Amino acid sequence: MALNLKSLLFVSLFIALVAAPIAEATVPIRLIQIQGSVFCNLNGTMLVNGIASPPFSNALVQLRCGPANLIVSFAITDRDGVFSNLAVFPRNLSLTSLLSTCNLLVNTPLSRCNSTLPSVGRLRSPIRFIGNVTLGLNNILNVTIVGPVGFTLVA
């Protein structure tokens, strides 16, 4: 999945306002694009036993990080179950640290998309590296793209 139009506009505006004045200096932040899809079943996947699951629309997806499980970013899935958002981290945060300390949490009960599914518990997934996109004059801004490894139902 590529950066969506809203995210691209945000990044472009950020470059215009911040990156231009500092010219070739190092940008002190790391932008993380979080993206993926959630489907209405116990593991959030598109297929269950070869049968397509409906998308989980209007679900709150949070990026939570660190031992305190702090909410760093959030997005609402669209009608196709797709979510995408940007988060800002310190530049010195390593990708390994990000991937090992952050998880995605679907903080909307599954019963909201299907009344036969549990109302207790939430879908959770570790995150994985998808790729990088470099933007701006002199390629000054690097956006790291991450997404879910695979959701599971947790208490």
Domain ranges for the chain: 5-12+30-154
Rounded Cα distance between 67 and 88, Å, is 18
Position 20 pLDDT exceeds 50: no
pLDDT tens digits for range 30-88 = 899 999 999 999 888 887 788 889 999 999 999 999 999 999 999 999 999 999 999 99
pLDDT tens digits for range 73-128 = 999 999 999 999 999 988 888 899 999 999 999 999 999 999 999 999 999 999 99
pTM of the full predicted structure? 0.79
SS3 label, residue 61: strand
* pLDDT score for 19: 47
* pLDDT score for 50: 81
Topology of domain 5-12+30-154, CATH = Immunoglobulin-like (2.60.40)
Structure-model confidence comparison of residues 18 and 63, the more confident one: 63
Closest among 65, 34, 3 to 146, alpha carbons compared? 34
How wide is the angle at C-alpha 64 spanned by C-alphas 146 and 118, nearest 5°? 100
Structure-model confidence comparison of residues 135 and 106, the more confident one: 106
SS3 label, residue 2: coil
